Structure 1
Amino acid sequence: MASTLLRPTTFASRLVCRPVWRTAALHSSSKRAAILPPGPQIIQGGVNDPAPIPKPSPAHGSFHWTFERILAAGLVPLTIAPFAAGSLNPTMDAVLCSVLLLHSHMGFQQVIIDYIPKRRYPGLRKLFWWGLNATTITVGIGMYEFETNDVGLTEAIKKIWKA
């Protein structure tokens, strides 16, 4: 038993025979493929300049954050109510679809704001922003068509759940 533990395995011998340059090339970050090219390294202003204070707006800041939280908290009862009540109410379906669409839109908007800086990639951010708006409008039209010409969102979920 002890002699088999001391004998090198074929797996270990293959690792030892592997050239070092291949291992180093695998772990090298010099050939890293850039998703986006690095932006210009321009410093605006000096070290002692104060940070710019944005103008107050009801669409940004704490009001915007509070509205997002209320919308997210409101989704919980809106999601449970149609299934608990057991009624097919098109008004409740429409409210659920609207709040769900608005919640998704605002969430993806925050992703764009956080990960595509306006100062660094203004064109790309505008492209994603308009793409998000177009997608939200398209999904809204699709949900409206689904609600008016088909069984509706909650009934479709019920049918899928029971399938």
Structure 2
Amino acid sequence: MASFARSSLLRQTLAPRAPFLQKNVGVSQVVAFHASSKKQILPPLPQSVQGTMNDPAPVPETHPSEGSYHWSFERLVCVGLVPLSFAPFAAGSLNPVMDAILCSLLVAHSHIGFQAAIIDYFPPSRVPKFRATCNWLLRAFTLTTAVGLYEFETNDVGVTEALRRIWTA
């Protein structure tokens, strides 16, 4: 009973000073905040129907670089990175061939991941030029990364030796 009386006394004493403690204050403010105008970054997609509304969706043509083959290649690259990440440090041998395979799979994995993000977030029907620009930038960065890793492997100590030196420093 004492806690109930204290909370009601607290409300009564603070009510004149704090208008947010009143019962109906804030409801219209929250609604007004959430009902603000919607700011669209991109214009809406064109709304056109090819054929009739009851026609099935068209099935795309099969291609070896898409679908299950592409998915299987992505999984093989991901699964191949797991032992290659630990093998040079667990075995203790620093092999340049293992470094080259690790760097190649890292570049391929990164390229596939960024390419999937571009495909998912930039549809060609909405932003065709920006998507093409992103694809060309991705290819340029992938090539630059591959050349940089090649130079690091051939003219310096290599990725696994550099990581081992950083770890023991």
- Normalising by structure 2, report the TM-score: 0.80
Who is 1:5 aligned against?
Answer: 7
Give every structure 1 segment of 4 or more consecutive aligned residues whose post-TM-superposition deviation is greater than 6 Å.
17-21
Amino acid at match of 1:150: D
Percent identity of the aligned residues? 53
Who is 1:116 aligned against?
Answer: 122
For 1:40-76, what per-residue CA distance to the aligned partner results, in whole angstroms no more than 9, with x for missing partners? 3333332233322222211011111111111111111
Who is 1:15 aligned against?
Answer: 20
Who is 2:60 aligned against?
Answer: 54
* Count of residue pairs brought into register by the alignment: 162
Uncovered stretches (5+) of structure 1, i.e. residues with no partner: none
Work out which of the residue numbers 29, 39, 50 in structure 1 matches 2:45. Answer: 39
Structure 1 distance, partners of 2:149, 2:136, is 20
CA-CA distance at 1:14 after TM superposition? 5.5
Structure 2 distance, partners of 1:20, 1:53, is 50
Q: How does 1:57-136 map to 2 (within 5 A)?
A: 57-136=63-142
For 1:107-161, what per-residue CA distance to the aligned partner results, in whole angstroms no more than 9, with x for missing partners? 1111122222222322222121111111111111121122222221112222232
**Which structure has more RCO (C-alpha within 8 Å, separation ≥ 6)?**
1
How big is the alpha-carbon RMSD for the aligned residues of Structure 1 and Structure 2?
Answer: 2.7
CA-CA distance at 1:97 after TM superposition? 0.4
- Normalising by structure 1, report the TM-score: 0.82
